[in-house]
A and B are shown apart, each in its own frame.
Chain A
Amino acid sequence: MSAEDVPDRFDPWPPGVPPQVPVPGYPNTWTYTPSQPLIRRVPTRTEATGPIRLDRKLLCGEANLAERTPGRFAIGQLIHLSGRILDEDGRPVGGAVVELWQANAAGRYANPIDQRAAPLDPDFLGHGRVRTDEDGRYAFLTIKPGAYPVPVQDTWWRPPHLHFSVLGPSSLSRLVTQMYFRGDPLNALDRILNSIPDEAARERLIARDLPPAEVGDRWLGFTHDIVLRGRRATPHTP
């Protein structure tokens, strides 16, 4: 691996995969989204690198959102979610930091910015952070979140979704995304999910249901893999 092969590690985003911005029907995006064309550059060392031992800075190991006190579970449908963080070659990204945050079963965030009149659940921890293992694997025990309305004039309801933030080995592979649940009628109406033009790309944001018989009688199970940009992912460095 050398500095010379930096540029060919990163292809441009494939068409239809990134959201199309600004979003009609989401007024905020019309005052935040840059109006000037983005400046194209060839990736250099500074963009291809990133902090590889970020778990020292961001303490990891919070994987149970649904059981803050042993034996006292959050209100809602318990779910076990696991998956792998991969690069575009399908290689596991070990040592990645995976952050998760979400609304509770009533669709309310434990964040002072969320002032909606829906109940908070003291037994639900709305966030977690783990580090992927050598196989790029992460796992969380949580609950299925509720839907919530977006406070804009021509409102819509966000379907149940989980927010992910993944910090991989390079600045260009940094990813913030969301995960959805199959079959929710709100998915088709969500202006954020549908800002992704490519149908197959939207489909990849939907978790896969595991057969309940395989998962057992304690919770429902889902898997969800996340693919970071870039090929030949940096080998896991302890």
Chain B
Amino acid sequence: MTTQDRMSRRMPTSEHTIGPFFPRSLFGAGDSDLTIVAPDASPTRRGEPILLRGRVTREGGVPCLNMILEAWQADADGRFDHPLDPARHMADPDFLGWGRAWTDEEGEFAFRTVMPGGYDDPVGRRAPHVNIAAMGAGLMRRVLTTVYFPDHAADHAADPVLALVPAARRARLVARPEGMADGLRVFRFDIRLRGTAEEETPFFDA
């Protein structure tokens, strides 16, 4: 590559809707399980495995089927297996932190993961959280939101991203406990794509 190539800034390719036809064949067994790095890998043994469930609805509370959701989070100790994490060498090698799921006719999705850890970011201490991107027909751009957990209420006050959310809407970003399943704690995080300010899930700029 020449220096000229390196210096010339390119404009990013525009985003488009994922549409209704993202193929089921591109989903594999275990894609919605963040605790395994490969289909045949064993789940990580670090951290508390949990289930994260939710329902995606649009205006009027109508369920959205065939929405594609992608999750990304830190491991149980708040580390990312990525060069941008200064503590990468301590990241859990058996935890992927990424998963993909789709919604059924009721708009329901489910991920298996571990309770994430918080970490110190240059802009402040991030409370434990899971990033969710939702895509689907009717959504020309993906929407981005963040799931927090009721376990860490004390950390939420200091989280520099949660602080940007209007105070009255912050509770919408905290998952609700929903009992146990398969011996794991279950958390519910419903996503309302469009509604009134009270109804709508807070979404972040991409």
Interfacial residues, chain A to chain B (CB-CB below 8 A): 1-4, 6, 12-14, 17-19, 21-23, 28-36, 38-42, 44-54, 56-59, 86-92, 99, 101, 103, 109-114, 126-127, 129, 163, 165, 169-172, 174-178, 192, 195-196, 200-202, 204-205, 226-229, 231, 234-235, 237
Query: Contact between A196 and B121 (Cβ–Cβ < 8 Å)?
Result: no
Q: Which of B6, B37, B82, B203 contacts A56 (CB 8 A)?
A: B37
Query: Contact between B12 and A202 (Cβ–Cβ < 8 Å)?
Result: no
A-B contact list, 25 entries, CB within 8 Å: A2-B86, A3-B84, A6-B84, A17-B12, A28-B138, A29-B140, A33-B138, A38-B206, A41-B161, A41-B205, A45-B80, A49-B84, A52-B82, A57-B30, A58-B28, A87-B10, A90-B5, A90-B9, A99-B26, A163-B21, A171-B72, A177-B13, A196-B14, A204-B13, A231-B9
Query: Contact between A38 and B203 (Cβ–Cβ < 8 Å)?
Result: yes
The CA-CA distance from A199 to B98 in the complex, in Å, is 35
Binds A, one of B42-50, B54-62, B149-157, B182-190: B54-62
8 more A-B residue pairs beyond the given contacts A32-B193, A57-B96, with a C-beta to C-beta distance below 8 A: A29-B139, A41-B204, A45-B126, A46-B74, A52-B81, A57-B98, A89-B9, A174-B133
Query: Contact between B15 and A19 (Cβ–Cβ < 8 Å)?
Result: yes
Query: Contact between A200 and B11 (Cβ–Cβ < 8 Å)?
Result: yes
Query: Contact between A176 and B202 (Cβ–Cβ < 8 Å)?
Result: no
Q: How far does the Cβ of B206 sit from chain A's closest Cβ, in whole Å? A: 7
Q: How far does the Cβ of A181 sit from chain B's closest Cβ, in whole Å? A: 15
Given contacts A35-B195, A58-B31, A192-B140, contact A165 B18 (CB under 8 A): yes
B135 partner residues in chain A, CB cutoff 8 A: 176
Query: Contact between B138 and A31 (Cβ–Cβ < 8 Å)?
Result: yes
Q: Which of B81, B82, B139, B203 contacts A39 (CB 8 A)?
A: B203
The CA-CA distance from A22 to B17 in the complex, in Å, is 12
Query: Contact between A205 and B123 (Cβ–Cβ < 8 Å)?
Result: no
B14 partner residues in chain A, CB cutoff 8 A: 17-19, 177, 196, 201-202, 204-205
Query: Contact between A57 and B10 (Cβ–Cβ < 8 Å)?
Result: no
A228 partner residues in chain B, CB cutoff 8 A: 12-13
Given contacts A19-B141, A32-B139, A57-B38, contact A48 B84 (CB under 8 A): yes
The CA-CA distance from A224 to B140 in the complex, in Å, is 21
Q: B191-204 vs A: 1/0 string, CB under 8 Å?
A: 00111010011111
Query: Contact between B13 and A46 (Cβ–Cβ < 8 Å)?
Result: no
